[in-house]
Structure 1
Amino acid sequence: MVIKGEYVNIKGSKIHYLEIDKESSKDTVILLHGKRYNAYDWINSGIAENLSNQGFKVICFEFPGYGSSEECDLEKEEVLLEFVKKLNISSFHLVAPSFSGEISIKFALKYGDMLKSLTIVDSINVDKYKEKLNEIYVKTLIVWGKKDEIAPYEFAEILKNNIKNSTLFVFENLGHTCYFDDAKKFSEVLINFIRA
């Protein structure tokens, strides 16, 4: 597995990402990160490699002010838009845990036609978007740790009940970082969903 650390310039800010690219890869999966994490956590957990081994091009993106990315004045969903434009990625699968889950909801509401699929994991602030979630049409996987003390399980139910084309997978005994706590199962569920 070859991991390349790259930078792209967005509005004068250097934005960092990691890329695992196989020549045969077709679909791109972009992995966002939670507030206490960065791009390397996807590598260390094995999730990025699991996706790469299944033939996906994997990009681990770091938001402005996180990891090695510089601060940027744009809204975070707009930074993501500029990022995919710079890399000439017209459509992709988006995976977004915790605080990036909220960003992915905003992205899906504005630019949902760019998404092949959306995976929201233990997102914060879901209740803010309850009235708008029915505007998300992309196929969506909702993954939740039922013992999450940061983003309550009722947020998962709000997402499931309001996003039409959605599937819910629950880790009964895990909390907010369920995707890292059982990275093998998470990878399996994610890959099956993307491929379905």
Structure 2
Amino acid sequence: IFLLYVGLPGPPEQNSWFWGDPNVTVLAGLTPGNSPIFYREVLPLNPAHRVEVVLLHGKAFNSHTWEQLGTLQLLSQRGYRAVALDLPGDDSPTSASQVVGITGAHHHAQLIFDLEVQNAVLVSPSLSGHYALPFLMRGHHQLHGFVPIAPTSTQNYTQEQFWAVKTPTLILYGELDHILARESLRHLRHLPNHSVVKLRNAGHACYLHKPQDFHLVLLAFLDHLL
């Protein structure tokens, strides 16, 4: 139910160009099922870790957000491969505003990481929970770690379903997010292998409000997984 694209051959058609930071490669291609995919990728400057980070985004954002925030570049500097995906839209694959109401969830369940990502750590803020949580429930054995940031759709799963997920999880949320953060935390706490970090004076998009704190916490979690 989520198109994480891991472990399958690369897209048969692919073009790349540079936009913004010259170290960030923007790629577009087709999956084996002829679904368009768009993503930004940064390879580690000095490969040091086998963990690779896949970053999703919320409704008002896209993969470029992680480049603008410096997350892709920072992960590369620390020896991690980082991939930021554009979630699909009804009209444009790069339109985050079209994510709500997307159909074909069963089709997306057939796509398990088309980017040859291994030992993936999935970062899932806000609306991307609609995609990440179904994948977590069905394919958690393929994830090395999970970082939910006040994701949606947590209410769709039972306490028993959360208990069954053994993936190491870092639950992140902003102190000033009084609605979705609280709701998601109430359910995510049932994950048996989790830690919780609250970013002070930050709202729903806490990684934007406190980027330095967010990066420090994320890097500490990734380093702990090694």
TM-score, normalised relative to structure 2 = 0.76
Matches of residues 155-194 of structure 1 in structure 2 within 5 Å?
155-160=184-189, 162-194=190-222
SS of equivalent to 2:84? strand
SS of equivalent to 1:137? coil
Which amino acid in structure 1 is aligned with residue 94 of structure 2?
Answer: G
Matches of residues 29-108 of structure 1 in structure 2 within 5 Å?
29-65=53-89, 66-67=93-94, 74-75=104-105, 78=108, 82=111, 84=113, 86-108=114-136
SS of equivalent to 2:72? helix
Which amino acid in structure 2 is aligned with residue 117 of structure 1?
Answer: G
Distance 1:75 1:30, change over 3 A: same
1:9 matched residue in structure 2: 30
SS of equivalent to 1:194? helix
> How many residue pairs align between the two structures?
193
Unaligned runs of 5+ in 2: 1-21
Query: Which among 44, 49, 59 is matched to residue 22 of structure 1?
Result: 44
Distance 1:194 1:148, change over 3 A: same
Measure the CA separation in 2 of the matches of 1:48 and 1:150. Answer: 28
Measure the CA separation in 2 of the matches of 1:135 and 1:78. Answer: 22
Q: Could you report, residue by residue, the CA deviation over 1:149-184 in whole angstroms, capped at 9, with x for unpaired residues? A: 551424213312x00000000123221111111111
Measure the CA separation in 2 of the matches of 1:158 and 1:139. Answer: 16
Which amino acid in structure 2 is aligned with residue 164 of structure 1?
Answer: P
Greater Rg over alpha carbons, structure:
2
Measure the CA separation in 2 of the matches of 1:76 and 1:118. Answer: 22
Measure the CA separation in 2 of the matches of 1:91 and 1:33. Answer: 20
SS of equivalent to 1:88? coil
Q: Could you report, residue by residue, the CA deviation over 1:12-43 in whole angstroms, capped at 9, with x for unpaired residues? A: 22210011013643321000010110000001
SS of equivalent to 2:111? helix
Distance 1:4 1:39, change over 3 A: same
SS of equivalent to 1:22? coil
Q: Could you report, residue by residue, the CA deviation over 1:82-114 in whole angstroms, capped at 9, with x for unpaired residues? A: 262x32224311100001124222111111111
Measure the CA separation in 1 of the matches of 2:71 and 2:176. Answer: 22
Measure the CA separation in 1 of the matches of 2:201 and 2:107. Answer: 31
SS of equivalent to 2:172? strand
Measure the CA separation in 1 of the matches of 2:207 and 2:117. Answer: 25
| Structure 1 runs of 4+ with >4 Å offset | 68-73
Q: Identity of paired residues, percent? A: 24
Q: CA RMSD in A?
A: 2.5
Measure the CA separation in 2 of the matches of 1:77 and 1:151. Answer: 28
Which amino acid in structure 2 is aligned with residue 20 of structure 1?
Answer: V
2:166 matched residue in structure 1: 137
Q: CA deviation at 1:144?
A: 0.9
Measure the CA separation in 1 of the matches of 2:112 and 2:26. Answer: 15
- Kept in 2, the 8 Å contact 1:141–1:169? The answer is yes
